[in-house]
Amino acid sequence: MVYTEAMNNANNAPFDYDDLLARATTVFQPRTPITSRDLFAGRWNELMAVVDAVNQVGLHAVIFGERGVGKTSLANVVTPTVFALDDPNSESLNPKGRVIVKTVSTTSDTFASIWVKVFKDITLINNRPVAGFYPGPKERVSILEAYGLGSALTVDDVRRVLTNIPDSVFIVDEFDRVPPATMKEFTDLIKTLSDFSVNSTVVLVGVSDTVSNLVADHASIVRAISQIFLRRMLPIELRRILTNAEEKLGIEFADGAAQLIVHVSQGLPHYTHLIGLHAVRVAATARTAPIVSRQDVFVALDRATTQAEQSTRDRHSRAIHSSHKDALYRQILLACAVAAAQEQDPLGYFTPSAVIAPLSSILGRPVEIATFNSHLSAFSQLERGNVLERDGQPRAYRFRFQDPMVVPFTFMDAVANGIVNEDHLASLLIE
């Protein structure tokens, strides 16, 4: 329940700010993927798409999207969700006795090394496959030993093992990092599992704009996979993260504060968690009531950008550098950041026309695309740090920030350098 001053007076109990500071990091988790369904806001449709793939023999799943949209967090909540939906009335945590294993791939992984890692997490206890730790003195046999397998696993080796572990699910995160040869063997495996109707599910998770960039070499594999594109989150979904924090921490985000966090986050939950955490900390140390104000958010943005990686700072510095005092690089980059924060494109793109209104407001005069078109092109070049990524054809280009952290950094730089004040920036983002 959200805290109100009336509730506090009725209870006649002071608010525990030390406790709020301690618990804030359990709700806002910008540095690590979410692992609890209770803290996982939105994404229900995507999560159900994974569950549907798990429950259909011969169907597998590929989760793909930009870095930072929450792919790993989605993968982390697959296990508890599948268990819960297997039998909602069961008191057992795993009513069907499923084996669900998640592993993270690296740039040096081969097909065989990934499956060796997976199979090391599975042991046979009384001839029953069990994943992870299992208490008790019962006799254990590694699944590799049980099947007489070494480390040079083939597609057919894996297929035979999975055939004997029905209802199992195997999640391979950061799949985009593996070499092309490894990707090809995984597509071979999925095709084989589908052809043999093996009742096990492979879930691949990776950074990609399209599934064809992540999984290739088998045209027919499309029929065997559920393509789950994790778009950037909608404002209402990001707001749900803050609502969850309000309920769990007993605080309240003022409307202007919540709107500012949502817009600056650009559809990426990582930034909602990051800025939300800092904003709560600011409010907890500076207020007599646990209400997060818009001013708290601006201080939080300043702290978040202060902790930005040096690569973000360097990219921003290269983008706006000019020996001419009247150059507009800083103002135009700010307008691009506003356009990026306002747009709801699933991949974070904005068009040149979206820059017109914010730049006109920043400069205090009407502008046309011709005013800044050459700057957009320059921002997409190495000389300006490739701060923007350009896509499309001439006269139909669209742009997005290569490093989303440059966006909030640009906002705070603009305030610090007097390009806009906080009220003006808030009006640009929230109007």
Residue type, 167: D
Q: Name the least confident of 47-61, 131-145, 258-272, 332-346.
A: 131-145
Name the residue with higher pLDDT: 206 or 125.
206
Residue 36 is predicted with a pLDDT of 53
Beta strands in 67-209 (DSSP E): 100-104, 122-125, 128-131, 140-142, 168-173, 200-207
Give tens-digit pLDDT for 152-172: 999 999 999 999 999 999 999
Q: How far apart are the first and last CA of the chain?
A: 29
Does 43 score more than 90 pLDDT? no
Backbone angles phi, psi at 390, to 5 degrees: -105, 140
Residue 134 is predicted with a pLDDT of 58
Name the residue with higher pLDDT: 343 or 339.
339
As a whole number of Å, the CA-based R_g of the chain is 25
Residue type, 86: D
DSSP character string of 258-324:
HHHHHHHHTT-HHHHHHHHHHHHHHHHHH-SS-EE-HHHHHHHHHHHHHT--HHHHHHHHHHH--S-
Does 148 score more than 90 pLDDT? no
Q: 370 is written with which tokens?
A: 């011709």
Q: How many CB atoms lie within 10 A of CB 106?
A: 12
- How far apart are the C-alpha atoms of 291 and 251, rounded to whole Å? 6
Which range in 15-19, 122-126, 413-417 is most confidently predicted, on average pLDDT?
Answer: 413-417
Name the residue with higher pLDDT: 287 or 176.
176
Does 108 score more than 90 pLDDT? yes
Confidence of residue 268 (pLDDT cuts 50, 70, 90): confident
Q: pTM of the entire structure?
A: 0.78
Tell me which DSSP letter residue 350 carries.
Answer: B
